[in-house]
Amino acid sequence: MDKLKASWENFWQARTAQEQKVLTIGGIFVAIALIYSVLLGPALEGRVRVEKQMKVLTQQVAQLRELAKEAQALAGRNGPPPAPMNQEMINTALSQRGMKADSVTVVGDQVKLQLSNVQFSGVLGMLDDMQKNARVTVFDANITSLPEAGKINAALTLRQQKSE
């Protein structure tokens, strides 16, 4: 360290007053440029970028608030009530899945359904469709597996949910 300091003093003393002045001004200029490029420049650019992003984010927040208000207003409303369950609706839902009921008994908002030798996946698909389209839920189910893979016998009691 002492060698470096002595070397610098020899270099500096060998310069004239004018050269020392030019080197000092040049050193100050380089130091200012280095400070700006390392510290100030990125900070200022980041600030501008954040300001632009804040405008976009503020707009997105406003849109989300409007959507939340709209969703809250829509949540209070129920859709139109489904058509009342009837034998024709049940038979149509079954025939769309390639099935036929042994018996269908409609009593008020309940349907008792007897199915023999049908695909389990078909019954699940039919129940899923009816739940989505007619607000039907399974009230009671008695399912028996058959020796053939995927085939079942089922006795189902379905209930239609009432509109509130």
What's the pLDDT score for residue 1? 84
Residues 6+ apart with CB under 8 A from 130: 93, 136, 158
Question: Hey, what are 160's tokens?
Answer: 């239609």
Per-residue pLDDT in tens (0 to 9) along the chain, 164 residues: 889 889 988 888 888 989 989 999 999 999 998 888 888 888 888 888 999 999 999 999 999 999 998 888 877 666 677 778 888 888 888 899 889 999 999 887 788 999 999 999 999 999 998 888 888 899 999 999 999 988 999 999 999 887 65
DSSP letter string, 48-90: HHHHHHHHHHHHHHHHHHHHHHHHHHHHTS--PPPPPP-HHHH
